[in-house]
Structure 1
Amino acid sequence: MSDPTPALTDPAVDGDAPADATGASSAQEEDALLDRVRPVAGGGRDIKDAATRQVIGRAPEQSVAELDDAVARAKAAQPAWEALGHEERSRLLLAAADRIDASAEALARIVSREQGKPLNGPGARFEAGGCAAWLRTAAATVLEPEVVVDDGEVHAELIYKAVGVVGAIGPWNWPMLIAVWQIAPALRMGNTVVVKPSEYTPLSVLALLSVINEVLPADVLIGVAGGRELGARLASHPDIDKVMFTGSTATGRKIIESSAGNLARLTLELGGNDAGIVLPDADPQAIAEGLFWGAFINTGQTCAALKRLYVHDSIYEDVVSALGQLAEQVPMGVGLDEENVLGPLQNEQQFDIVSRLVEDAKRNGGRVVAGGSPAAELGELFYRTTIVADVADGVALVDEEQFGPALPVIRYSDVEDAIARANGLEAGLGASVWSSDRDAARKVAQRLQAGTVWINSHGGVHPMIPFGGVKGSGYGLEFGVEGLKAVAVPQVING
Structure 2
Amino acid sequence: MSITTTTHASYATAADLLAVIQPSTGGRDILDPATGELVGRAPEHTAADLEAAVSAAREAQPGWSALGHEERSAYLNRAADAVEASAEALAELLSREQGKPLNGPNARFEVGACTAWLRATASFELEPEVLVDDGGRAELHYRPLGVVGAIGPWNWPMMIGVWQLAPALRMGNTVVMKPSSSTPLSVLALVHVLNAALPGRVLQAVSGDRTVGNLLVEHPGIAKIMFTGSTDAGKAIIRNSADTVKRLTMELGGNDAGIVLPDADPQTIAEDLFWGAFINTGQTCAALKRLYVHEDIYEDVVTALTETAKATPMGVGLDENNVLGPLQNKNQFDIVANLVQAAKDSGARIVLGGNPEQGQPGYFYPTTLVADIDNDNPLVAEEQFGPALPIVKYSSVDEAIEMANALNVGLGASVWSSDKDKAREVAARIQAGTVWINKHGAVDPRVPFGGAKQSGYGLEFGVEGLKHLGQPHVISY
Please indicate the TM-score interval, normalised by the length of the shorter structure: over 0.9
Describe how 1:249-264 pairs up with structure 2 within 5 A: 249-264=231-246
The gaps in structure 2 that reach 5 residues or longer are 1-9
* Structure 1 residue 32: Cα displacement: 1.4
2:273 touches 2:439 (CA, 8 Å); kept in 1?
Answer: yes
Question: Following the alignment from structure 1 to structure 2, what is the Cα–Cα distance between the partners of residues 266 and 470?
Answer: 15
Question: Following the alignment from structure 2 to structure 1, what is the Cα–Cα distance between the partners of residues 359 and 236?
Answer: 39
Alignment-derived partner of residue 17 in structure 1:
none
* Structure 1 residue 394: Cα displacement: 1.4
Report whether the alignment pairs 1:43 with 2:65: no
User: What secondary structure is seen at the aligned counterpart in 2 of 1:314?
Assistant: coil
* Structure 1 residue 410: Cα displacement: 0.2
* Structure 1 residue 259: Cα displacement: 1.5
Alignment-derived partner of residue 384 in structure 1:
366
Alignment-derived partner of residue 365 in structure 1:
347
User: 1:237-281: CA deviations, max 9, x gaps?
Assistant: 111001000000001001111121111100000001000000111
Question: Following the alignment from structure 2 to structure 1, what is the Cα–Cα distance between the partners of residues 231 and 385?
Answer: 13
Report whether the alignment pairs 1:309 with 2:328: no
Aligned partner (choices 37, 57, 62) of residue 40 of structure 2 = 57
> 1:27–1:321: structure 2 CA closer, same or farther, 3 Å change rule?
farther
Report whether the alignment pairs 1:490 with 2:476: no
1:249 touches 1:472 (CA, 8 Å); kept in 2?
Answer: yes
User: What secondary structure is seen at the aligned counterpart in 1 of 2:296?
Assistant: helix
1:199 touches 1:226 (CA, 8 Å); kept in 2?
Answer: yes
Kindly report structure 1 stretches of 4+ aligned residues shifted beyond 4 Å.
none
1:309 touches 1:409 (CA, 8 Å); kept in 2?
Answer: yes
1:213 touches 1:221 (CA, 8 Å); kept in 2?
Answer: yes
* Structure 1 residue 141: Cα displacement: 0.7
2:229 touches 2:253 (CA, 8 Å); kept in 1?
Answer: yes
* Structure 1 residue 27: Cα displacement: 8.9
* Structure 1 residue 375: Cα displacement: 3.8
Alignment-derived partner of residue 97 in structure 1:
80
Alignment-derived partner of residue 257 in structure 2:
275
Question: Following the alignment from structure 2 to structure 1, what is the Cα–Cα distance between the partners of residues 436 and 43?
Answer: 40
Question: Following the alignment from structure 2 to structure 1, what is the Cα–Cα distance between the partners of residues 347 and 450?
Answer: 35
User: 1:73-92: CA deviations, max 9, x gaps?
Assistant: 11111001101111111111
Alignment-derived partner of residue 165 in structure 1:
147
> 1:39–1:307: structure 2 CA closer, same or farther, 3 Å change rule?
same
Amino-acid identity (%)? 65
User: 1:28-47: CA deviations, max 9, x gaps?
Assistant: 5321111111013x121010
Alignment-derived partner of residue 470 in structure 1:
452
User: 1:144-165: CA deviations, max 9, x gaps?
Assistant: 11000111x1111101110100
Question: Following the alignment from structure 1 to structure 2, what is the Cα–Cα distance between the partners of residues 463 and 295?
Answer: 21
Alignment-derived partner of residue 82 in structure 1:
65
Aligned partner (choices 105, 118, 124) of residue 135 of structure 1 = 118
Question: Following the alignment from structure 1 to structure 2, what is the Cα–Cα distance between the partners of residues 176 and 454?
Answer: 24
Alignment-derived partner of residue 189 in structure 2:
207
- Aligned AA for 2:282? G
2:12 touches 2:88 (CA, 8 Å); kept in 1?
Answer: no
Question: Following the alignment from structure 1 to structure 2, what is the Cα–Cα distance between the partners of residues 175 and 84?
Answer: 29
1:376 touches 1:382 (CA, 8 Å); kept in 2?
Answer: no
Question: Following the alignment from structure 2 to structure 1, what is the Cα–Cα distance between the partners of residues 275 and 73?
Answer: 34
Alignment-derived partner of residue 447 in structure 1:
429
- Aligned AA for 2:383? E
1:108 touches 1:124 (CA, 8 Å); kept in 2?
Answer: yes
Report whether the alignment pairs 1:418 with 2:400: yes
Question: Following the alignment from structure 1 to structure 2, what is the Cα–Cα distance between the partners of residues 375 and 335?
Answer: 18
Question: Following the alignment from structure 1 to structure 2, what is the Cα–Cα distance between the partners of residues 397 and 125?
Answer: 31
User: 1:297-345: CA deviations, max 9, x gaps?
Assistant: 0000000000000000000000011111111110000001111000000
Question: Following the alignment from structure 1 to structure 2, what is the Cα–Cα distance between the partners of residues 477 and 375?
Answer: 41
Aligned-residue CA RMSD (Å): 1.1
Report whether the alignment pairs 1:110 with 2:93: yes
* Structure 1 residue 376: Cα displacement: 4.5
> 1:440–1:377: structure 2 CA closer, same or farther, 3 Å change rule?
farther
- Aligned AA for 1:58? R
Question: Following the alignment from structure 1 to structure 2, what is the Cα–Cα distance between the partners of residues 122 and 345?
Answer: 15
Alignment-derived partner of residue 268 in structure 2:
286
Question: Following the alignment from structure 1 to structure 2, what is the Cα–Cα distance between the partners of residues 34 and 485?
Answer: 36
Question: Following the alignment from structure 1 to structure 2, what is the Cα–Cα distance between the partners of residues 258 and 144?
Answer: 34
Report whether the alignment pairs 1:31 with 2:15: yes
- Aligned AA for 2:312? V
* Structure 1 residue 414: Cα displacement: 1.1
Alignment-derived partner of residue 129 in structure 2:
146
Question: Following the alignment from structure 1 to structure 2, what is the Cα–Cα distance between the partners of residues 185 and 447?
Answer: 31
Question: Following the alignment from structure 2 to structure 1, what is the Cα–Cα distance between the partners of residues 149 and 295?
Answer: 47
User: What secondary structure is seen at the aligned counterpart in 2 of 1:373?
Assistant: coil
User: 1:130-175: CA deviations, max 9, x gaps?
Assistant: 0011001111111011000111x11111011101000000000000
Question: Following the alignment from structure 2 to structure 1, what is the Cα–Cα distance between the partners of residues 187 and 11?
Answer: 18
Q: What TM-score, normalized to structure 1?
A: 0.93
* Structure 1 residue 426: Cα displacement: 1.0
Report how many aligned residue pairs link the two structures: 468
> 1:490–1:170: structure 2 CA closer, same or farther, 3 Å change rule?
same
2:99 touches 2:328 (CA, 8 Å); kept in 1?
Answer: yes
1:111 touches 1:117 (CA, 8 Å); kept in 2?
Answer: yes
Question: Following the alignment from structure 2 to structure 1, what is the Cα–Cα distance between the partners of residues 381 and 138?
Answer: 49
Which one is further off, 60-69 or 457-466?
A: 60-69
Question: Following the alignment from structure 1 to structure 2, what is the Cα–Cα distance between the partners of residues 426 and 229?
Answer: 29
Alignment-derived partner of residue 9 in structure 1:
none
Report whether the alignment pairs 1:429 with 2:384: no
Question: Following the alignment from structure 1 to structure 2, what is the Cα–Cα distance between the partners of residues 320 and 80?
Answer: 57
User: 1:404-454: CA deviations, max 9, x gaps?
Assistant: 000000000011111011000011000000011100010110110000000
1:333 touches 1:378 (CA, 8 Å); kept in 2?
Answer: no
